[in-house]
């Protein structure tokens, strides 16, 4: 039986280094924020470190796990996001921390669910129905925010259902195509996928629709390996996009500044031009947490957060963050070769590809390389729905490692 080669990175040394970085961020915050928010920051970062170490100790001593590459990346990126949120919106840090706790809980629970492949296969139809139902509910009851109708407000809490549907989308796709014995399963998944993408188009959430379509392509290619089919699907999608622009010209107006934002310096290109200016001013090591100017621009902690990282943490840290998303994909591909089931391989590669593609849309969008779509930067952007979704997607990546279910095995 083939196994993955032993890991060279000592997780305990990496955990120690990450903890030092987190403590530096914490000390920088408590000396800058108003005194009324210091207790919130103390509670947040103290609680976060407790959860972080409790997870590693429990996973090592109780479950006997040794590899923590995936979790180390997630905890590091999440702490950067929490630091930026606490710095810009100290009154919202507790709310973001609660979302992180929910996300980590979802990560643990979903790992437990994924250990039973048969159960996952049996749940694909109910999960698909629930996902489509959430999108339809959003279409009917959502409130338009920044041009997209994708937010539900319940008791003062805002929820973006499409973020949670990302998890269902990969779950359904992998379960449907894990053992593709007929075209029936593929047809059902195609209908489900285009139903999700169509609903997102109706919400004018084009960035998320593009992410879903890209993930669909990854899942379909992993199962079929047929380049011609993939090209056909992409062609159909392109034609659909052109038809939307033709009959809905106001959609194109949302991207009028793309490619020449400097001509719209004080109008539609305001965010991107400031992001590029302030990002460059950070240099290699940044101006320091809390010292940046981009934080004063609208959506600095959401759509523009990569610019804040560049300005305040520096280009070296920004580059390390981008490499982290690539590392998750490499991890997924590497372990997929030895996965106990194609279900795990599809889940892991689809989830890591989704994160990398979403990160690319965010980074390239704010730098005017691609149109600005308003998608979040995984684990770092402020937003409860986004952080919960990212941690749950991480469970798909973690599940592909054979050692994840070493005790009790995996039920096929």
Over its C-alpha atoms, the chain yields an Rg (Å, rounded) of 21
Q: What is the pLDDT of residue 3?
A: 47
Average pLDDT value for the chain: 85
What is the sign of the dihedral through the CA atoms of 82, 84, 90 and 96?
Answer: negative
**Count of positions (residues) in the chain:** 412
Going from N- to C-terminal start, the domains of the chain cover 11-405
The string of pLDDT tens digits covering residues 308-342 is: 999 999 999 999 999 999 999 999 999 998 888 88
**Is the whole-model pTM more than 0.85?**
yes
Whether the predicted pLDDT of 387 surpasses 80: yes
Whether the predicted pLDDT of 143 surpasses 90: no
The string of pLDDT tens digits covering residues 146-201 is: 667 778 888 778 889 999 999 999 999 888 876 654 556 677 888 888 889 888 88
The string of pLDDT tens digits covering residues 60-108 is: 887 777 788 999 999 999 999 999 999 999 988 999 999 999 999 999 9
The string of pLDDT tens digits covering residues 218-234 is: 888 876 666 666 665 66
Least Cα distance to 360 among 322, 320, 314, 391 occurs for 322
List b or e across 138-170, with b for residues whose CB sees 16 or more CB atoms inside 10 angstroms. beeebeeeeebbbbbeeeeeebbbbbbbbbbbb
Quickly state the pLDDT bin for 17 (edges 50, 70, 90): very high
Least Cα distance to 149 among 133, 136, 164 occurs for 136
Give the span between the Cα atoms of 142 and 258, in whole angstroms.
28
- Mean pLDDT on 5-31: 83
Q: What is the pLDDT of residue 238?
A: 64
What single string gives the DSSP state of each residue in 321-332?
Answer: HHHHHHHHHHHH
Cβ-based neighbours of 167, under 8 Å, separated by 6 or more = 110, 389, 392, 393
């Amino acid at each position: 039986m083939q196994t993955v080669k032993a890991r060279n990175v000592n997780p305990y040394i990496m955990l120690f280094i990450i903890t030092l970085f987190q403590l530096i961020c914490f000390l920088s915050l408590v000396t800058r924020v108003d005194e009324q928010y210091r207790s919130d920051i103390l509670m947040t970062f103290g609680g976060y470190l407790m959860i972080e170490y409790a997870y590693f100790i429990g996973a090592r001593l109780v479950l006997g796990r040794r590899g923590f590459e995936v979790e180390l990346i997630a905890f590091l990126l999440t702490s950067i996001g929490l630091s930026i949120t606490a710095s810009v919106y100290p009154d919202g840090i507790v709310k973001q921390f609660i979302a992180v706790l929910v996300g980590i809980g979802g990560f643990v629970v979903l790992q437990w669910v994924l250990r039973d492949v048969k159960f996952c296969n049996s749940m694909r139809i109910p999960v698909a129905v629930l996902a489509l139902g959430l999108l339809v509910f959003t279409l009917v009851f959502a409130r338009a925010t920044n041009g997209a109708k994708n937010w539900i407000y319940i008791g003062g809490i805002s929820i973006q259902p499409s973020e949670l549907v990302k998890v269902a989308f990969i779950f359904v796709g992998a379960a449907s195509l894990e053992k593709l014995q007929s075209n029936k399963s593929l047809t059902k998944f195609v209908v489900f996928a285009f139903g999700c993408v169509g609903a997102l188009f109706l919400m004018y959430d084009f960035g998320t629709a593009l992410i879903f379509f890209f993930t669909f392509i990854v899942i379909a290619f992993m199962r079929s390996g047929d380049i011609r089919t993939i090209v056909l699907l992409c062609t159909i999608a392109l034609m659909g996009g052109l038809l939307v622009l033709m009959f809905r010209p106001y959609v194109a107006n949302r991207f009028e500044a793309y490619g020449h934002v400097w001509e719209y310096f004080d109008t539609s290109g305001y965010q991107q031009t400031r992001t590029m200016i302030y990002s460059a001013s950070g240099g290699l090591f940044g101006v320091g947490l809390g010292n940046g100017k981009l934080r004063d621009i609208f959506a600095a902690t959401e759509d523009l957060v990569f610019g804040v990282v560049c300005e305040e943490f520096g280009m070296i840290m920004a580059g390390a963050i981008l490499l982290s998303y690539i590392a998750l994909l490499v991890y997924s591909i590497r372990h997929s070769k030895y996965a106990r089931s194609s279900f795990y391989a599809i889940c892991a590669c689809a989830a890591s590809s989704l994160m990398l593609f979403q990160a690319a849309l965010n980074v390239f969008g704010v730098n005017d390389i691609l149109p600005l779509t308003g998608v979040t930067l995984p684990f770092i952007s402020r937003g409860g729905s986004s952080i919960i979704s990212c941690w749950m997607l991480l469970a798909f990546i973690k599940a592909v490692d054979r050692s994840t279910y070493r005790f009790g095995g995996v039920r096929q």
